[in-house]
Amino acid sequence: MTVHVLFENPDWMPPIRAALARRGLACVEHFTDGGTLDLGAPPPEGVFLNRMSPSSHTRGHQDGVRFAREYIAYLESHGRRVLNGSSAFALELSKVRQHAALEAMGIRTPRTVAVVGSAGLRAAARRLTPPFITKHNQGGKGLGVKLFRDHDALDAMLDAGLWEDSPDGVNLVQAYIEPAEPFITRVEIVDGRFLYAIRSSTARGFELCPADACSVGDAFCPVGAGADQPVGPTGDTRFTLRPDITADDPLVQRYIAFCQRHGIDLAGIEFVEDRNGNRWTYDINGTTNYNASVEAAHGLDGPGAIAALCAQALAEGTAAHAARGVAARDAAAPWV
């Protein structure tokens, strides 16, 4: 039995690869950027870890998302365990679906209007009182998020031909939640367990990626020189632990229940707090990444938690595989 990893960004693989190796788990890596799916051939045995990102189009790998969506459904039809399978992946690829699912669980979300294409953006924006933000339905790392203080600013951007469409053609206009302080919080959950919460500064923008390597190319990606330099007068680094957020927090408990309901094995769920103490949830990231400097400073290990989940899934899969073999043998045996 093997762990098969579906991925499209090799820069995100080293922490996962190392964590699986520490547990002695056999691993096969599948770089996924399109491909051919033979529906008449059974898939390999093992557990599949879905590391396909909705931001894949920023690396020229949108075909990988399309392929993975079909391949994961195919794997599940053959009884293969997929960590962050088709239900989780459908949510990750659509902020519209995320919003609806969060509201159905009674989790507070910002007022949002979805527009297919960009022709209706002006009218959609006028349903909201400024300030507001625009974002892509299929996004990641905060790419495509723009803040507008008035409707004229959006009109000017559209008139100048500067609008960049979401890769799936669905765009969102969302009420901007003015934070009490310039940061957002990301809650990391693996296998129904709270790992920790990380604070990400928004002092310089919205493109936030806590991974140790990514290609966002702006000040918020903690890669290279200056990644951990202080920002702002308080001396906070861009990515720091929030020890005040614990497993007993009611919102964390709601997130865990949400993940269990929607078959999400691992996630980073983000919220922002307004000046009245209200917490607004706005993003679910299934291909969650972990910041090594934060983890090293506090004895945490997100990739290790994923590897432990893979080991557990492999053990369960091995037992199920043996049971299927016994059932097939008994079915083939003559009646006595």
Instruction: Give the tokens for residue 31.
Output: 């770089």
Mean pLDDT over 238-253 rounds to 97
Banded model confidence at residue 233, pLDDT cuts 50, 70, 90: very low
Does residue 334 or residue 180 have the better pLDDT?
180
- Among 113-122, 205-214, 311-320, which is the least confidently predicted range? 205-214
pLDDT (0 to 100) of residue 117: 86
% pLDDT > 70, the chain: 83
Q: Which residues contact 140 (CB under 8 A, 6 or more apart)?
A: 53, 54, 55, 56, 58, 285, 287
pLDDT score, position 319:
59
- Residues 206-244 as b or e (16 or more Cβ within 10 Å = b): bbbbbbbbbebeebbbbbeeebeeebeeeebbbbbbeee
Q: Own/partner pairs for 121-125, CB < 8 Å, 24+ apart? A: 121/154, 121/158, 121/163, 121/171, 121/173, 122/151, 122/154, 122/155, 122/158, 124/173, 125/151, 125/154, 125/173
Q: What is the reported pLDDT for 327?
A: 46
List of domains in the chain: 3-83+304-332 (3.40.50), 112-175 (3.30.1490.20), 179-298 (3.30.470.20)
329 or 84: which leads in pLDDT? 84
How crowded is the C-beta side of 156, counted as CA atoms within 13 Å?
6
Element (H, E) at 306: helix 302-332
Please state, rounded to an integer, the average pLDDT across all residues of the chain: 87
Q: Do strands 3-7 and 47-51 pair parallel, antiparallel, or not at all (unpaired)? A: parallel
Closest CA to 321 of 329, 290, 308: 329
**Mean pLDDT on 147-176:** 94
- Between 4-13, 49-58, 136-145, the lowest mean confidence (pLDDT) is in 136-145
Check whether 258 has a pLDDT greater than 50: yes
pLDDT value at residue 95: 96
Q: Mean pLDDT over residues 249-256, rounded?
A: 98
pLDDT at 175: 97
Q: Which of 177-191, 282-296, 315-329 has the lowest mean pLDDT?
A: 315-329
**What is the rounded CA–CA span in Å between residue 62 and residue 52?**
10
Percent of the chain with pLDDT over 90: 76
Close Cβ partners of 191 (under 8 Å, ≥ 6 residues apart): 265, 266, 305, 308, 309, 312
- Please give the Cα distance from 126 to 318 (Å, whole number): 56
Q: Phi first, then psi: what are they for 4, rounded to 5°?
A: -105, 125
Range with the lowest mean pLDDT among 29-38, 50-59, 228-237, 262-271?
A: 228-237
CA–CA separation, 53 vs 45, rounded Å?
23
pLDDT at 326 over 60: no
Strands 183-190 and 170-175: unpaired
Q: What are phi and psi of 189, to 5 degrees?
A: -130, 130
Whether 160 shows a pLDDT value over 60: the answer reads yes
What is the pLDDT at residue 223?
A: 25
pLDDT tens per residue across span 171-230: 999 999 999 999 999 999 999 999 999 999 887 655 444 444 333 333 223 222 233 443
Question: pTM, whole model, 2 decimals?
Answer: 0.86
More confident residue, 203 or 12: 12
Are 87 and 262 in contact, with CB atoms under 8 Å apart? yes
Q: What is the mean pLDDT of residues 25-40?
A: 96
Query: Looking at per-residue confidence, does 78 or 216 come out higher?
Result: 78
| Backbone torsions φ then ψ of 132, nearest 5 degrees | -145, 165
Tokens of 98: 């995320």
Candidates 240, 236, 199, 206; CA nearest to 220 is 206
The predicted pLDDT at position 325 comes to 52
